[in-house]
Chain A
């Protein structure tokens, strides 16, 4: 457990109890831990292993949070945050690779210089991120569901737990949001 585990745990509990400023303080801590862990994997994991985003997030949780002081709802909140951060890390990375339509400035990313992501893949993720921002304005919950499932690697049930809705609702929203996002992204491509 890292030295900051107490702090992180308290922030998480505070946030779960409604203190929204705690969330802002929590974000960078979780972000750093995810990056740190990701770095550690790099020395070890290679292409023939599929890295699981959810496993990464899970380990970050186990490392950062003092299990005996938190409630399972806190855990759900944590996964919500982690999904958001994974999205940021991945989208930032994709943008910075310079393959994206917008915001590409060919800067190497902080994680590692030697990474390879196909230009198509990077562009897809950036387009998805843009479309997801639009979706959030129309229907926040649906955008959250995509974020948790796609970027956080959460199952339908876990997503339902995080959002406090039924699995059936998640399924429904997931189906709709996917269709919507796909349409948006396709249209975007045509527009360009």
Chain B
């Protein structure tokens, strides 16, 4: 077969798959014409695909397991070990085989654990293990398993312990049905495990391997923790280097850990650091989390991915899976703090909190009892019934007394409520598909050892400094003592100062209707430079404020990007844009005087606003800069000479976005945030060394980072981390209170502006919904029914396809695609075929159709100025509608008017204007209502009598309407949380679809 033939088959195969089932045969027939071979090839492949059940979907792991297993255990029933007679095999784990045996002397059943021989090669280590295990056992704690003997028979070491008649927590969880675990039982288990740990810790013993397999639930309700000290023995014995240096993590030394328990590892364990009692607190937190949600908080496809998540990701809230008391959410969050200094320091404190919560739930029950005795009885009958069903069916380990005591109305409520994944949406588009996770944050050294530079932050500790999710900008002082950050709340922004040593936060600049960004500390850390841009005004003003209190001093008017200070701090530099499309790298004295232009670039070759960095030797400034080559735009890092303003490209690496840059004070490299070219790539941390000028990605994870600010010792950096959750809701008959969620997306980044365009969905005339999704790695266009069923992909092409809508006459889909290198308006047939660009400009977006299906209105950017245009649905020469800055046009239902954001002068505040469909100046003009963010959707209500828009207050958006006749504005939805990204009425105007969700951004501190 020729390669061309093969490609043809491949291509057609995917084209057919993209079609709805019913159209495939016809489509294939058309596509193949009389090429019978091609048709039968593709047909048989499609048939094979349809039957693909689980064919090779799972890695060859079961085979490998079979391959590597032995079929025999080491002891057989009847075999004698000392004065014990083996009865049966109870189980096998990473730490050895466990048998039920009989103590012939005392005539009682016992359990025998046979240790793997490689654990027991060193006598002295076995002795130390014995000491520790015995010490734990000697505590005589009711929740710690009692050890009778640690002995040796032939070459086998064994541990004889009390026999626990029950099941492991793992088995118990596996036996639960979808109603999940009862909160009372959950708390009871957690409290008992915590008590065991507290007792052991006070005797200086750390368990190191708390997991559901090591927690036994006995029939009478007692919980027993197994295997104290064993994890340490395993760790020591399998390490083949004499010293346990930090470079050897547990992953590399203990196969058993790799195989089974990565999920319960604490960050310090994963990094191979010395562990202490707080590691057990973390692992217990993981176990609690799993009891609530049915899944471990950090769970990757591979152990590597799991570890990446442990080191870098905050797990989803418990409340995403189940209804839980807020207090439990808080407790679990406190056990899972990445920095152990911020965790519960003592297991005892955790137990105290758990006990208090349990008591509160019981008190609630008591109150319910006194207030309504009759109800209580009725309910309790229900409780008992339900409970006894459960007990016989599943919870044989917990049938009796303790449960009777625990029973409470409140806990019974939770019994019903805690059910795994009950809230899960119809379809969760897993971020896993787009997400990487190779690197464990442990990036790289250069190949040639002789010139290997030290890349900072290879092994890092990541600490979240804020949890509000509403942080916009962050900077760290050169001495690492302070972090300044911007918080958005109630539509206002304020600047805060955090003292790292004592975690205190002080407000530096009070809340204002202003956007603050570009925070930059002076080298002594006493002053902070920042830029303030009033909402709806695009002129940035540079201020300087004393960190320890004082009034901000206005320095320079019209500053667009963050500033950077010269090494002697006598000068500063920044990027200033102008309406001509010019972006200049400006230099001024530190007091704002003597401004001058050092270098200037235009349009698609402009400097980035991300934030330049002045080199420590004072001779140059590095900055992001755009280039255009063969119609493809990209950014790279350039150096600008202070002497003559000449610009040199520093690396051949290309990015699609470059954020703020920071120098290492020794001048050996820069750290910055940037997003690689290619759809779907997130903004990550990068390092570029000098003189090699090689760029390396430092972070390789699922998050999105913006802006790098470094301390002078280059040991700590702060950056902003962003996550987005969004979902689509449909409200029938316009009754927003009855909105239901039909689809949810989770993304660990906001993808900058493109995210915004991808949140657009649209109703099709037949009532289906069309939307853009990145489930396959590249934003492409999908269709589903209004119940969320029948999702299918329509197109699958290079480049991002976004912003889809269907012409009212149902002939075409209009969408945006950047496959030419620039964003243009495209159209295709309803089945995804016949794709055709309608425009060929440089930067076009926001495609809106006229109700007669004849025109598409859009805005087009040229040299930084965006104006409105329209193009016929059949293509042809576009017509310009406005010559003043105007964006986001929406056509009225009667087709006579367009509403858009506009301003008549560059840098004047944006307003809303209504202009005739044929173009010209606005005939009606409004202020942008408070709480409406620039460029967010403003559209007509279905009857055309009012404008509808999104008002966001304190992180919560709702839709409001403003009648055009001047009547009062009215709120038409009543959501209590989350942002609204997009909304649209169905063609008949009777259903309202809303895409909403949360974008959270927090400051993270990364230490190496």
Chain A positions near chain B (C-beta within 8 angstroms)? 1-2, 13, 16-17, 37-38, 40-56, 58-59, 62-63, 67-76, 86, 89-90, 93-94, 111-112, 114-117, 121, 125, 128, 138-139, 146, 149-158, 160-161, 166-168, 171-172, 175-176, 178-183, 186
Contact = CB atoms under 8 A, between A and B. Distances in A.
A154 B64 contact: no
B438 interface: yes
Interface stretch (B92-100, B335-343, B496-504, B507-515): B92-100
B262 to A, nearest CB: 8
B56 A155 contact: no
Given A111-B67, A167-B433, A69 B55 contact: no
Contact of B60 (A48, A115, A125): A125
Contact of B68 (A38, A70, A155): A38
21 contacts: A41-B255, A44-B116, A45-B94, A48-B93, A54-B59, A58-B303, A58-B304, A69-B445, A72-B444, A75-B438, A115-B66, A116-B66, A138-B6, A150-B59, A152-B59, A158-B302, A166-B778, A167-B777, A168-B776, A179-B45, A179-B48
Contacts, number: 241
Contacts of A44: 94, 96, 116, 118, 255-256
Given A89-B67, A93-B67, A166-B778, A153 B118 contact: no
Contacts of B96: 44
B117 interface: yes
Nearest to A121: B63
B164 to A, nearest CB: 18
Nearest to A68: B445
Contacts of B437: 155, 157-158
Given A157-B436, A167-B434, A179-B49, A49 B66 contact: no
B240 interface: yes
B59 A153 contact: yes
A77 to B, nearest CB: 11
B270 interface: no
Given A71-B445, A180-B45, A155 B118 contact: no
Contacts of B59: 52-54, 149-154
Interface stretch (B69-77, B181-189, B748-756, B844-852): B69-77
A158 to B, nearest CB: 6
A122 B71 CA distance: 17
A37 B590 CA distance: 62
B64 A178 contact: no
Given A149-B59, A155-B301, A179-B46, A171 B67 contact: no
Nearest to B89: A46
Contact of A51 (B14, B46, B47, B259): B259
A90 B6 contact: no
A155 B259 contact: no
B667 to A, nearest CB: 23
Contacts of B118: 40, 43-44
A149 B55 CA distance: 12
B259 A52 contact: yes
Nearest to B91: A48
A72 B61 contact: no
B258 interface: yes
Given A72-B700, A180-B48, A42 B68 contact: yes
Contact of A153 (B51, B55, B302, B442): B302
Given A37-B255, A166-B678, A76 B438 contact: yes
Nearest to B55: A182
B44 interface: yes
User: Helix, strand, loop or mixed for chain A's interface?
Assistant: helix
Contacts of B438: 72, 75-76, 157-158, 161
Interface in B731-784: 776-778
Interface string B674-715: 000011100000000000000000001000000000000000
A99 B56 CA distance: 20
A76 B434 CA distance: 18
A11 B873 CA distance: 59
Contacts of B678: 166
A149 B260 CA distance: 21
B879 interface: no
B55 A42 contact: no
B241 A56 contact: no
A125 B62 CA distance: 12
Contacts of A179: 13, 45-46, 48-49, 52
A59 B48 contact: no
B449 interface: yes
A176 B259 contact: no
Contact of B444 (A70, A115, A172, A180): A70
B776 A181 contact: no
A158 B301 CA distance: 10
B932 interface: no
A114 B67 CA distance: 9
A171 B436 CA distance: 14
A179 B249 CA distance: 41
B49 A59 contact: no
A148 B883 CA distance: 55
A62 B255 CA distance: 11
A86 B56 CA distance: 15
B72 A114 contact: yes
Interface in B205-252: 240-241, 247-249, 251-252
Most buried by A among B45, B679, B777: B777
A99 B52 CA distance: 24
B435 interface: yes
A116 B66 CA distance: 6
A126 to B, nearest CB: 11
A67 B452 CA distance: 13
Contacts of B796: 172
Contact of A50 (B61, B247, B449): B61
B17 interface: yes
Nearest to A16: B447
B365 interface: no
A51 B61 contact: yes
Contacts of A73: 444
